[in-house]
Structure 1
């Protein structure tokens, strides 16, 4: 097949330009990323060979090799792993197939410092392109295990790349960087220097379980050798210790080494928020090394988000993203688990049913949740970071994990009217409850500002009663599923009847009875007029300033929840709501007086309709007939001029 030239995808071209012009100063990380890719390729080949013994592949000496040519100024990272086919090279190297590409590139351009840029690059998983920070041209030669022909990919990082088939490619992948001209004033970035290669591998890749070998340049012949007779090929030097961090004691491993392992498995170049070690001994033995990231990936809520930790069995790599080891609401956790008593041929289907896997999941889940609880009690800044980044997804567990619901609640915090900036736990809320208060009150909505200004909050503000302010979509669902906390009900301020008058307040009770009698006629008439939209009209004990509000019955779905179900394609019948009137508001008083005096009922009906629509608007809803609403308001304004 002749050489073919292709154009890079637009996003890939933009990324390459950012790399070529050095979006960050620490260029050394390109070698770490290439070594990491090579390690992944070796893992995948060993796993594929385990599952298919007939695969025509040599697995006798799997390794990574780094070859430097000072004279030609090239650096090659070579592995004898799984390799790629012609089509895979075009798909994996020529394009960036990931949701949020445009946002990622914009964030990368706007990164204010080197660390921020590194974090974005690593998070997006495009480390191969980092080679262009050090090279003017990159050549990749690869042959997939079991295939007879290889592929060569070449690019100068500009608009195009070339692809061609090659007949003599060895199994695996080699990436050759044609390095940029040497900078005599900056020897720290001399990637043809063996000491520099040793330093980078030791710093970033010492824990890689495959040998990373460097072939030293051949020594010049000694005076005693005639034309080099008797020379032997130089012995490759193994640069890494190959000892897995999870197998070492805590005292043997530095935080920096843990952080480099995290960066290797997560493709995140920021340091993790926390490292969690766990070693189980007894009838079922395993080691776990888990990491809590310091920031949420951009695609955390995408359907195709890859979750799960790496699974090893007796130090043999089994799979990259074992979903069975942690529940979906902890999908941001990265790490490695090495089990001693599983089969090397274990499949994803078997994992779902395996008793040992379920035991591991329970213990790992409890360990992560207890770590978050420790953040809360011992390191408020670290907890604040965690909850800001992952609180929304953790709360999904309140719906799906009843076994750990109490632990999740204990590790959760919520915005509250008690403080502008400081979130509260449910335990703290209960401690502050007023005498005689039986419920934990909350309100849900799109933003703190909108729900704090809701008419439903007026009586609570007036009485100084604390309300939780819940603004995540999942909040609409979990509060109903949980129902109560330590015997205190979770109660929405927008549902059911609410009376905050003190028990035994006879004067208040007598006043309500008088108002009910006085407004009985208006309430019944408005119920008939608005029958299509509401199920009841009643006087409100929750309003102190606004004229009216709409509320849901105690066990009805909220409008936001109805919309959420419809967005998921579920048919949900429309629920009529309740209109509450403030008997102390001048507008409501005037309406009642007009009803009693039997004035023009057509105009009175318009007023009732306007009052209902204003109540809907006040909670962020939309008029049923916007054009009619605008006309009614305009007519009323005209008559007042």
Structure 2
């Protein structure tokens, strides 16, 4: 290859730091499924062809005399080379550097962190599950040369690297470049020579890329004639009964960049006011970047089989884990990406596709509880965002939701089950929010409810603190936090055979509670006898209005709440410690220490720490000294 002119010498570049880390892991780690690199390169080539089809709507001259898109694989066993050619949109110099020298996918960093956190054996399948695009070719090649010419350009460029931390970019004579598109030459490692053999490459293509919507051909050796491998028929245009489970799994993998199998497939054609075809998949495994705040949906939009964009809001954000596409003839081919977002046609499509996907999840819940449980385990935290955001489908999503509860054991329960088993006089669905189920089960606020056999939802996802505020009610029962307001447990009888404790405090305890209320006035809004405590001495609860305890912590942590409301300290009047303190704390110093220690104990039980650790330690020392002297 020759340079265009002497004024454009070869440029040397260093990879972005994250790319260097990724390439190092590729080259120096052992992965069991290296085949994934070919699927990734073919997927990129297909995307380039689809982008050209889109741009050619406004500029037909980009196609020239070669209007048919194609991908060609050329094998050279003698020289250990594999070449992947496409006649798609191609790249100019800046695009080569941006696409191959930097990381643009936000999830790649999460991928690398996951690999580094695993041993080589445990992480062996991670590349196949995640899909790392172009960089995966360095698992099998010790040098990669990329020659690309953007459609309509009079320049071509060579990008070259050995994957060791640097790359070069140089101009290429047009006679050594494709008429348009990209040619990737992989100089294979000795232990990867099987990727230059026809039987191996043909098997991988048919297994993993058989339904890419661009025809794929293979050239068995340099100079031979191309032989078709796939015809580029769009899978979604075929009748449902003509598409096998294996076809769907193959297409899902090429579409999603993951290597699991879809848990749910939604394939339908809508006819009527708007006509469109949808092919959508709920993944069998959780995507690595599902909780990335900048992550967008992964539904592609086609118009008459021409790729338009993968940034259209085809689905609401709480279904962002769904992979798939929508193909419609109702939108004009020359519509801009900006106009698409405001299109009433897209709004109608969005509504229809969303409803079909939620209905498919409902059917799975009814027909296969085990499969649904796995889907909920993977995506329940995201689906619950819909309870908060989507008022139209709130009831549907509440019915789908599954929760850990005090009555669920190791499993989970639906709200319908909760309501069916509720006490006859129970008007609320009680819940407790926190960071983990284990922490919540140890919460003192649960004691009175557990003693009376009242089921409580144990909510540990951050979104839980938000949707319960907007959900209103379910089947006539309002949602109520057990850390907010009075418990009002007196209306519920204890199980038969268990004596009801006298909730009225003794005179000594009442005097101590009155003292604590006065002494702690700057720290709490009230101190009162509790009917929710049966085992612990104290607990903190929020007032009836405002936020519950967990919501206050979330808002404060996010800087959205400058000053939280003072909590209420509840004291168990029947607790032996409280009775002993009330009976013996006749000295002002002891009373003060006891009241402040009980408040700090309540803070610790609530997952916090004493407000003044040093003062806490000093008070505890004084109490120990008094006890030892007694």
TM-score w.r.t. the length of structure 1 is 0.88
Query: Which of 588, 605, 610 is equivalent to 1:618?
Result: 605
CA contact (8 A) 1:562 1:572 kept: no
Task: Provide the secondary structure at the position in 1 that maps to 2:248.
Answer: helix
Query: Which whole-Å deviations, capped at 9, do the CAs of 1:489-524 have from their partners, x for residues lacking one?
Result: 22211111113234699xx99955x53877554434
Distance change (3 Å), C-alpha of 1:113 and 1:5:
closer
1:152 deviates by 1.2
Distance change (3 Å), C-alpha of 1:426 and 1:552:
same
Q: Partner of 2:166 in structure 1? A: 160
Task: Please show how residues 382-397 of structure 1 align to structure 2 within 5 Å.
Answer: 382-397=371-386
Task: Provide the secondary structure at the position in 1 that maps to 2:411.
Answer: strand
Q: Distance in 2 between matches of 1:425 and 1:261?
A: 34
Query: Which of 465, 478, 482 is equivalent to 1:493?
Result: 482
Query: Which whole-Å deviations, capped at 9, do the CAs of 1:570-613 have from their partners, x for residues lacking one?
Result: 24432011111111113322444457xxx332431222111112
Of stretches 564-573 and 95-104 in structure 1, the one that deviates more from structure 2 is: 95-104
Q: Distance in 2 between matches of 1:58 and 1:14?
A: 43
Task: Provide the secondary structure at the position in 2 that maps to 1:65.
Answer: strand
Of stretches 20-29 and 422-431 in structure 1, the one that deviates more from structure 2 is: 20-29
Task: Provide the secondary structure at the position in 2 that maps to 1:33.
Answer: helix
Query: Which of 505, 530, 535 is equivalent to 1:540?
Result: 530
Task: Provide the secondary structure at the position in 2 that maps to 1:636.
Answer: helix
Q: Partner of 1:252 in structure 2? A: 242
Q: Partner of 1:225 in structure 2? A: none
Q: Partner of 1:631 in structure 2? A: 618
Task: Please show how residues 494-573 of structure 1 align to structure 2 within 5 Å.
Answer: 494-502=483-491, 511-512=502-503, 515=505, 520-573=510-563
Query: Which whole-Å deviations, capped at 9, do the CAs of 1:217-269 have from their partners, x for residues lacking one?
Result: 588xxxxxxxxxxxxxx754332122111111122222121111111121112
1:346 deviates by 2.7
1:134 deviates by 3.4
1:336 deviates by 1.1
Distance change (3 Å), C-alpha of 1:191 and 1:608:
closer
Q: Distance in 2 between matches of 1:110 and 1:568?
A: 28
Distance change (3 Å), C-alpha of 1:200 and 1:520:
closer
Q: Partner of 2:71 in structure 1? A: 64
Q: Distance in 1 between matches of 2:244 and 2:120?
A: 26
Of stretches 575-584 and 206-215 in structure 1, the one that deviates more from structure 2 is: 206-215
Task: Please show how residues 307-322 of structure 1 align to structure 2 within 5 Å.
Answer: 307-322=297-312
Distance change (3 Å), C-alpha of 1:584 and 1:196:
closer
Distance change (3 Å), C-alpha of 1:43 and 1:58:
farther
CA contact (8 A) 2:210 2:250 kept: no
1:39 deviates by 0.6
Of stretches 618-627 and 388-397 in structure 1, the one that deviates more from structure 2 is: 618-627
Query: Which of 334, 350, 357 is equivalent to 2:339?
Result: 350
Q: Partner of 2:5 in structure 1? A: none
1:623 deviates by 2.0
Q: Tell me, yes or no, if structure 1 residue 484 matches structure 2 residue 493.
A: no
Q: Distance in 2 between matches of 1:246 and 1:100?
A: 27
CA contact (8 A) 1:286 1:338 kept: yes
Query: Which of 30, 38, 51 is equivalent to 1:31?
Result: 38
Count residues in correspondence. 615
1:90 deviates by 2.8
CA contact (8 A) 1:566 1:572 kept: yes
CA contact (8 A) 1:143 1:149 kept: yes
Task: Provide the secondary structure at the position in 1 that maps to 2:100.
Answer: helix
1:10 deviates by 5.0
Of stretches 144-153 and 254-263 in structure 1, the one that deviates more from structure 2 is: 144-153
Distance change (3 Å), C-alpha of 1:448 and 1:502:
same
Structure 1 unaligned segments of length 5 or more: list them. 184-188, 220-233
1:277 deviates by 0.8
Q: Distance in 1 between matches of 2:119 and 2:311?
A: 32
Q: Distance in 2 between matches of 1:56 and 1:280?
A: 32
Q: Partner of 2:591 in structure 1? A: 604
Q: Distance in 1 between matches of 2:108 and 2:299?
A: 24
Distance change (3 Å), C-alpha of 1:306 and 1:58:
farther
Task: Please show how residues 65-464 of structure 1 align to structure 2 within 5 Å.
Answer: 65-99=72-106, 104-105=111-112, 107-108=114-115, 117-118=124-125, 120-168=126-174, 169-170=177-178, 171-181=180-190, 190-215=194-219, 217=221, 236-322=226-312, 324-464=313-453
Distance change (3 Å), C-alpha of 1:518 and 1:197:
closer
Q: Distance in 2 between matches of 1:500 and 1:148?
A: 80
CA contact (8 A) 1:310 1:319 kept: yes
CA contact (8 A) 1:57 1:145 kept: no
Task: Provide the secondary structure at the position in 2 that maps to 1:473.
Answer: coil
Query: Which whole-Å deviations, capped at 9, do the CAs of 1:341-367 have from their partners, x for residues lacking one?
Result: 112133343333322222222222122
Distance change (3 Å), C-alpha of 1:84 and 1:302:
same
Distance change (3 Å), C-alpha of 1:56 and 1:205:
closer
CA contact (8 A) 1:138 1:155 kept: yes
Structure 2 unaligned segments of length 5 or more: list them. 1-7
Task: Provide the secondary structure at the position in 2 that maps to 1:141.
Answer: strand
Distance change (3 Å), C-alpha of 1:194 and 1:437:
same
Of stretches 161-170 and 402-411 in structure 1, the one that deviates more from structure 2 is: 161-170
1:411 deviates by 1.0
Q: Distance in 2 between matches of 1:499 and 1:72?
A: 81
Of stretches 492-501 and 541-550 in structure 1, the one that deviates more from structure 2 is: 492-501
Task: Provide the secondary structure at the position in 2 that maps to 1:239.
Answer: strand
Q: Partner of 1:222 in structure 2? A: none
1:448 deviates by 1.1
Query: Which whole-Å deviations, capped at 9, do the CAs of 1:175-197 have from their partners, x for residues lacking one?
Result: 011233488xxxxx644444544
Task: Provide the secondary structure at the position in 1 that maps to 2:230.
Answer: coil
Q: Partner of 1:226 in structure 2? A: none
CA contact (8 A) 1:49 1:57 kept: no
1:70 deviates by 4.1
The CA RMSD over aligned residues, in Å, is: 3.0
CA contact (8 A) 1:443 1:492 kept: yes
